[in-house]
Amino acid sequence: MRIVTNASSNLPESALRHYGIELVPSAMLVRGIRHDLRQGIGHDTIDRWVTEEGPFPSLAGASAQEFGETFRRLLAQDPQVMVVLSSKRLIDSYVMAQAAATRERQRRVERTQRIAVVDSMTTDIASGLATLVAAESARKGLGLEEVQNRIEDFAAAGHLCLYLDDMTRVWKSGRASLLKAWAAQVLRVRPLVGMIDGELRAVGRAPAGAPPAEVVGSHLREILQPGEEGRRRIWVGIAHGGVPELALECLQQLRELCDVEYSMVRPMSPATYLYSGPRALAVFVHPVDRLAVRLPVPPVFE
């Protein structure tokens, strides 16, 4: 089975090589110029683009044609292709992939050739964790439907707490009204953003100046309270806007609260950082103790 995802899944190169994961094209558009996200774009470069005169940069996922070309090439190597993508509420890659998969199903020669497209209902490193679930499950010999079921169960159990240190980029990009951004600055509060049904929504707020790790930790503690079975068993992904020390502090707080079975800490993907900005924290938590089956744990990737 071949695994496909997009660059916004924020997986390290070592993980991509280990599983042979394919990245479909995606780009950041800056004043008419396309910059391939698969090549990596530094946060400092994005900071410069955002402050320069001109329209706010935008994102473009793979087209149906690009997905189709990828599917045909991979199906020539393996009859099964699993595609794990960021939430369809955030980018249209899922729709494009589904359209391409439908065309390939109609034209396939071998009936054993199959493509499954899964909406991870999340983004950044959590979409990467869902991709690792797919890759590790496939290595264990599971079929396409079983792997898809595991990804969907894993995705449905997830929680996000995104802390934004500054609302400027949110309103510049058009993702929040100027009034809301102004109010957040004037009232000296910082929003907490969660992922609900694959869509980003406000789930709380914190006073400006409050320690971000404590704010995020307090919000997640309400979600991850131990049940009758004791401490929760979780997977954790933390993406940060240039503040690795805060990310590690969040991870330590989660370890004190839960049994962290697997964790990954990374700088934010360029797509997430574009809208979140410096000092932002995105903490993704996926409880795995109540899933139908126990997931195989991937290696630790640097």
Q: What is the pLDDT of residues 6-18, one digit of tens each?
A: 999 999 999 999 9
pLDDT tens for 177-214 read: 544 544 455 446 777 888 877 777 778 777 777 888 88
Looking at the structure of the chain, the number of domains it has is 2
Contact 30, 45 (CB under 8 A): no
Q: What confidence score (pLDDT) does residue 188 get?
A: 63
Q: Are residues 68 and 115 in the same domain?
A: yes
How does residue 234 score in pLDDT terms, banded at 50, 70 and 90?
A: very high
| CB-CB contact of 65 with 99 (8 Å) | no
Residue 300 lies in a domain: no
Q: Are residues 105 and 47 in the same domain?
A: yes
In tens, the pLDDT along 18-46 reads 999 999 999 999 999 999 999 999 999 99
145 plus 257 within the same structural domain: no
Tell me the longest C-alpha to C-alpha distance in the chain: 62
- 172 vs 69, more confident: 69
Give the CA distances from residue 210 to residues 205, 245, 261, 273, in Å, rounded to whole numbers and listed in that order: 11, 16, 29, 21
H or E stretch at 203 = strand 199-207
287 — pLDDT class (breaks 50, 70, 90): very high
The average pLDDT across 123-151 equals 97
Q: If you average pLDDT over residues 238-260, what whole number do you get?
A: 96
Backbone phi and psi for residue 257, each to the nearest 5 degrees, phi listed first: -90, -35
pLDDT at 178: 42
Are 187 and 254 in a shared domain?
yes
Look at residue 292 and tell me if it is in a domain. no
Residue 221, pLDDT above cutoff 90: no
Query: Does 174 have pLDDT greater than 70?
Result: no
Q: Establish if 74 belongs to a structural domain.
A: yes
Residue 69 is which amino acid?
Answer: E
* Rounded Cα gap, residues 159 and 283, in angstroms: 8
**Quick one: 130 and 184 in the same domain?**
no
Confidence of residue 172 (pLDDT cuts 50, 70, 90): confident
CA–CA separation, 14 and 196 (whole Å): 30
Residue type, 58: S
Which of 166 and 134 is assigned the larger pLDDT? 134
One domain, residues 103 and 246: no
Yes or no: say if 215 and 181 are a contact pair by the CB < 8 Å rule. Answer: no
For residue 5, what pLDDT band results from cuts at 50, 70 and 90?
very high
| Residue 81, in any domain of the structure | yes
Q: Which of 61, 52, 60 is nearest to 29 (CA)?
A: 60
Q: What mean pLDDT comes out for the span 222-246?
A: 89
Q: Is residue 11, in this structure, part of any structural domain at all?
A: yes
43/146 same-domain check: yes
Determine the pLDDT at residue 179. Answer: 41
Backbone φ and ψ for 150, nearest 5 degrees, come out as: -65, -40
Give the residue-averaged pLDDT of 46-68. Answer: 94
The answer to whether the CB of 190 falls within 8 A of the CB of 206 is yes
Any idea how long the chain is? 302
Is the CB of residue 67 less than 8 Å from the CB of residue 96? Answer: yes
Residue 296 lies in a domain: no
Domain boundary among 114, 132, 156: 156
Q: Which domain holds residue 151?
A: 2-156
Residues near 54 by beta carbon (within 8 Å), at least 6 away in sequence: 31
Rounded-to-integer distance, Cα 278 and Cα 253, Å: 22
Least confident span in 213-222, 247-256, 274-283: 213-222
Provide the whole-model pTM: 0.92
Residue 249 has pLDDT above 50, yes or no: yes
Residues 6+ away with beta carbon under 8 Å from 12: 266, 301, 302
Instruction: State the chain's mean pLDDT as an integer.
Output: 90
CATH number at residue 50: 3.40.50.10170
DSSP calls for 129-142: HHHHHHHHHHHTT-
Q: In the predicted model, is pLDDT for residue 111 greater than 80?
A: no
Could you tell me if 265 and 181 lie in one domain? yes
